[in-house]
Amino acid sequence: MSSRRSSRGNISEDEINELISKLQALLPSSRRRGSGQASTTKLLKETCSYIKSLHREVDDLSDRLSDLMSTMDSNSPGAEIIRSILRS
């Protein structure tokens, strides 16, 4: 099967396999397992789980930052540093 897309815009099996390999390389749990091929279904489930955990981590960090900012003097050097980091 050709690795090029057809004129209809379908993705070839080679392209899907390449995307699956790239996705697998992005997941921490897949990197620990080594180069063994996981099933696509399992890989997609792991990806969803990892994305959910990242969302929880972002929410937690956001809450912690809000708590920290509420205890700081808004004109303090620390508060200004945090604001400059958030702007960048």
For residue 52, tell me if it sits in a domain.
yes
pLDDT at res. 83: 86
Contact 31, 25 (CB under 8 A): yes
pLDDT at res. 74: 86
pLDDT at res. 14: 93
Q: From the CB of residue 30, how many other CB atoms can be counted at a distance below 10 Å?
A: 21
Query: Rounded to whole angstroms, how far apart are CA atoms 23 and 45?
Result: 12
Q: What is the pLDDT of residues 2-20, one digit of tens each?
A: 445 445 578 899 999 999 9
Q: Return all residues near 73 (Cβ < 8 A) that are at least 6 apart.
A: 79
Number of domains within the chain? 1
For residue 4, tell me if it sits in a domain.
no
Instruction: For residue 80, give its domain range.
Output: 39-87
For residue 18, tell me if it sits in a domain.
no
Q: Name the token pair of 2.
A: 């050709």
Give the SS3 label for residue 51. helix
For residue 80, tell me if it sits in a domain.
yes
For residue 67, tell me if it sits in a domain.
yes
Per-residue pLDDT of the chain (88 residues; tens, 9 = 90+): 444 544 557 889 999 999 998 998 999 876 656 545 668 899 999 999 999 999 999 999 999 998 888 898 988 998 889 889 888 8
